[in-house]
Amino acid sequence: MTTQKIGRYEIARELGRGGMAIVYLARDPLMRREVALKVLPREFLHDPTFRARFEREAQAVAALEHPAIVPVYDFGEADGQPFIVMRCMTGGTLHRRIAQGPLPLPEIARLIQRIARALDRAHSRGIIHRDLKPGNILFDEDDEPYLSDFGIAKMTEASTAFTGTGLIGTPAYMSPEQARAAKDLDRRTDVYSLGVILFEMLTGQQPYHADTPMGLAIAHINDPVPRILEVKPDLPPPCEAVIQRALAKDRMARYATAGELADDVSQLAAWLALNRAEAVSTPTVAGPLPVPLPPVPLVAETPAGETASPGPPPTAVRPRRAPSWMALGAVGLVALLLVLALGGVIVLPALLIPVASPSPAPTAEIALVPSDTPSLTATRTPRPSPTFTLTPAFTSVPGPGSTLVSEVDNAVMVFVPAGEFLM
């Protein structure tokens, strides 16, 4: 069985065909790899400038070297029929994916971003695709999209053969100016076609419908832009503004570049993701503390002159028994002897320091009489105000936690009862 060849390339099988090309899966015996070989129909050969234009455009596309443009490996002519050799894409076409239904918005944003960057690169080199459609967006084995057929679309400018009309391209994706066969096409005609592809990916159907290719072309020229939310109401509301701008009849009102359109689609996807996250979010439930809290003291002590801050109530303790007056005098004497023995007499300015008492109680005055054998005499008398005498006198407020204050001449001595140290 003889293997069919085009040039040195061995034809394995036909992958597909359209109005302007037939694509074969072929093998390159020199490089030992599979390739996609696209053969141009012979009806395009009647123009004497065809070969020159084809060669120039194939070289321009090969020089683009963009990650999202199908690489061109070779171009040539066999038996008078031009062909282009490209990388073989094994992941199928976008047309096949859309046939299964609308695509999710995050996936659409990813595809549009990659394809738009490829278009912007080609436009910056002066190349207009003119035949942008889902069948010309191919996927590799890693599910990455690629744009193909740049050279063929530009090359067909030399011919007016398209289903018996003067139109070049695919009517379902043509811009109004392209449908009118305008000569001054620019990058915005590709932006319009990308908008049609976006509409189709979002809804699973094309924006315009007609029984004939010419009817489709006229619809792009005259019919108003469809309301995408009427076709698919569950889409995010901002989709409407994006589609209306991408498919504007007046190209001056469209996105200036494909990248601008892609950026708005990415913002749509981000908006949708944010709103979905807010819809399913729930209040955060506090978990266990990462470290244990320090224990709360049983009795909170507040230094003199400071105000105690509010806190948990102290743990109940057994109340102390109120000391008798004799016991109080003995305690005071012991405290005085301890302080004198240690040299711990603290002389402060002649100020009367009020000492707070936890509960009201009658005051007592204890007079100390010098003698060989010290003795204590207790007298229960009301004391409306402090008394200053030449005889040292000790004034105290009886009760739990009381403090003895000694007033001698112009000095005040503060003592802490011994009982407080023995707790």
- The catalytic residue positions are 131
Q: Which of 171, 238, 237, 228 is nearest to 201 (CA)?
A: 228
Strands (E), 167-286: none
Hey, what are 194's tokens? 């990308």
Q: Which residue(s) pair with 139 in the sheet?
A: 145
Largest distance between two CA atoms of the chain: 145
Q: How many Å apart are CA 364 and CA 263, to the nearest integer? A: 89
Q: Which of 91, 92, 80, 85 is nearest to 29 (CA)?
A: 85
User: 356 by DSSP, 3-state: which?
Assistant: coil
User: 321 by DSSP, 3-state: which?
Assistant: coil
Q: Which of 42, 40, 69, 43 is nearest to 55 (CA)?
A: 40
Q: How many Å apart are CA 59 and CA 134, to the nearest integer? A: 24
Per-residue exposure over 147-165, b if at least 16 CB sit within 10 Å of its own CB, e if not = bbbbbbbbbbebbebbeee
Residues 6+ apart with CB under 8 A from 72: 58, 61, 62, 84, 85, 86, 151
Taking each helix axis from N to C end, the angle separating 258-280 and 187-203, rounded to the nearest 10 degrees, works out to 30
Residues in the chain: 423
Q: How many Å apart are CA 313 and CA 318, to the nearest integer? A: 15
62-68 long-range Cβ contacts below 8 angstroms, 24+ apart: 63/125, 64/121, 64/122, 64/125, 64/127, 64/150, 66/117, 66/118, 66/121, 66/122, 67/118, 68/114, 68/115, 68/117, 68/118, 68/144, 68/145, 68/146, 68/147
Q: Which of 316, 310, 319, 315 is nearest to 296 (CA)?
A: 315
Residues 6+ apart with CB under 8 A from 377: 366, 367, 369
Is the distance from CB of 197 to CB of 134 less than 8 angstroms?
Answer: yes
